[in-house]
Amino acid sequence: MSFFRNSDDHPSDASSPPFEAPRRRRRWPWIALVSVLLAPALLLGVWTLITMAYTYSEGERAGYVQKFSKKGWLCKTWEGEIAMVTVPGTLQDRFAFTVRNDSIAAEINRLQGARVALHYEEHRGVPLSCLGETGHFVDGVRTLDPVGAPGAPGGPGAPDAAPTPGAATPPTAPPAAPTTAPRRDTIDPSAATR
């Protein structure tokens, strides 16, 4: 029994091309290439999230801000250094820090010259320098000088109290004349004979 009714309907084997299966595209090279490129980026992203979420240590450092500037090629962060002096006349210890918040950076700029305390969190193993050059990220600042003290806000030497060039200076009073009062720590020889 033939599948075709007529022999005319049956194509001849010599004139028909052999059956070809549809050609399968090879996708595995593209999958491998994408995997090789995306896997490190994904791992880097996950590692960055973990290191920024985990705080290794936190604390406060007190001293005087020595330098503070916004740095970076693509990602701009505020980088600074604080000089910590324990006793006058001793060598200072320097502490490098990063600020990622612009409002905290503005406050540190306002308090330059005053003794400040910086609250920081340390994140170790941060893989990208785009997040900051140091592992110490400042998240708070407060002044340790009382208001009106030299270098403190509102006091002499504060950035907001600098005289404007060309402004008249107020007249100063002449020095007071020295008074001669008897010293109480000397012994009067006439008083000893009485």
The contacts of residue 144 (CB under 8 Å, 6+ apart) are 62, 114, 115, 116, 117
Cβ proximity of 66 and 81 under 8 Å? yes
Query: Which whole number is the average pLDDT over 74-88?
Result: 86
- Alpha-carbon distance 85 to 194, whole Å? 57
The answer to whether the pTM exceeds 0.75 is no
pLDDT attached to residue 142: 92
- Alpha-carbon distance 14 to 17, whole Å? 8
Query: Which whole number is the average pLDDT over 83-103?
Result: 86
Cβ proximity of 132 and 124 under 8 Å? no
The radius of gyration computed from the CA coordinates of the chain, to the nearest angstrom, equals 39
pLDDT attached to residue 164: 45
- Alpha-carbon distance 156 to 100, whole Å? 30
Of residues 184 and 140, more confidence is placed in 140
pLDDT band for position 126 (50/70/90)? confident
| CB burial string 130-147: b at 16+ within 10 A, e below | ebbebbbbbeebebebee
β 93-99/57-71 pair status: unpaired
- Alpha-carbon distance 69 to 97, whole Å? 11
Three-state DSSP state, 98: strand
The single-letter DSSP state of residue 157 is: T
- Give yes or no for residue 183 having a pLDDT over 60: no
19-56 pLDDT, tens digit each: 676 666 677 888 888 888 888 888 888 888 887 788 88
Of residues 16 and 9, more confidence is placed in 16
pLDDT attached to residue 88: 76
Fold observed for domain 54-161: OB fold (Dihydrolipoamide Acetyltransferase, E2P) (2.40.50)
Domain boundaries, the chain: 54-161
